[in-house]
Amino acid sequence: MKKFTYLLLLFFMSAFVFAQEEELQEKEQNLNNSINHTWDGNKKLSENNFIEAEVDYRKAIAKSPDNAAAPYNLGNAYYNNATFSEAFGRFKEAGETATSKKDKHKAYHNMGNVFMKRKDYAKAVEAYKEALRNNPKDEETRYNLALAKELLKKDEDNKDKNDDNKDKKDQDKKDQDENKEGDNKDKKDQDKKDEGDEGDKGDKGDEQKDENKEGDGDKKEEQKKKPEQGDQPKEQKQPRPNQLSKQQIENLLRAMQNAEKKVQDKIDAKKVKGAKIKNEKDW
């Protein structure tokens, strides 16, 4: 019984080992096929046959997920054709698939290049940093990282400047709106005041009209009280006892004018006789 159990256990162990070996052989075979498709893709790409190269790379990726070279090379093909979104996806796939630091470094370096093309400098900085973690000695990656940092700083400075300009424009617009609102309010207040003044003027006019109306009424009442006054003959005014008559006043004025004329004639005669002649100086 024990011997049978031992033989059964040995059988299962052998079957398990055999299955693992078979799986490993299949995996290795798939990897070899993937590498072959990758080489085919490289050859087609060197012949500028991008479409067939893409087909071979896709076959290589489908055959084995362990072949990091296939997505990496396909990413380079997309990158050279300016299809940056597809290129980024393949570089990311290569970076996740790669088991060596060397392959990871190359994948993340190229991911940084894609971000630089998109002008997404913040993500480019992170990609280059990850590449340097896998290969700190690569000078090209270090240079690209420095360039990405510089461009990121300029980008942020321009953004801050634009934000400041936008805030200033918004504040200026707000001030203009407030000033306009204030002017409109002052104009409305002035219009309201003018309307009030016109109303007061109208009231005064009405009062004056009422006063004139009352005056006319009083005058009419007075005329009613003396209806016969206009029919009476005007009285002839007589001069008062101490008052000169009109004829006496005219005679008196005529006599004063004659006396004044005689005096003026004498003065003129003296001026003619006693006038000195002024000689002009000969300079």
We report the CATH number of the domain holding residue 150 as 1.25.40.10
Residue at 222 is within a domain: no
Residue at 182 is within a domain: no
Residue at 39 is within a domain: yes
Residue at 276 is within a domain: no
pLDDT band at 278 (very low <50, low <70, confident <90, very high): very low
Closest CA to 151 of 159, 139, 140, 163: 159
CA atoms within 13 A on the CB side of 190: 6
Q: What pLDDT digit, counting tens, does each position of 125-143 carry?
A: 999 999 999 999 999 999 9
- pLDDT value at position 198? 55
Distance CA 98, CA 103 (A): 6
pTM comes to 0.54
CA atoms within 13 A on the CB side of 136: 1
Residue at 232 is within a domain: no
Its domain, for residue 109, covers 21-157
What type of residue sits at position 264? Answer: Q
Of residues 158 and 279, which shows the higher confidence score? 158
What type of residue sits at position 124? Answer: A
Number of domains forming the structure of the chain? 1
Closest CA to 76 of 105, 37, 107, 48: 107
Task: Express as a percent the part of the chain with pLDDT over 90.
Answer: 45
Residue at 258 is within a domain: no
Residues whose CB falls within 8 Å of the CB of residue 44, separated by 6 or more in sequence, listed in order: 50, 52, 53, 56
pLDDT band at 118 (very low <50, low <70, confident <90, very high): very high
Of residues 34 and 19, which shows the higher confidence score? 34
Residue at 196 is within a domain: no
Residue at 51 is within a domain: yes
Closest CA to 73 of 102, 50, 42, 95: 42
Helix (H, G, I), strand (E, B) or coil at 279: coil
Q: What pLDDT digit, counting tens, does each position of 147-199 carry?
A: 999 999 999 998 877 776 676 777 777 777 777 776 677 677 777 776 665 55
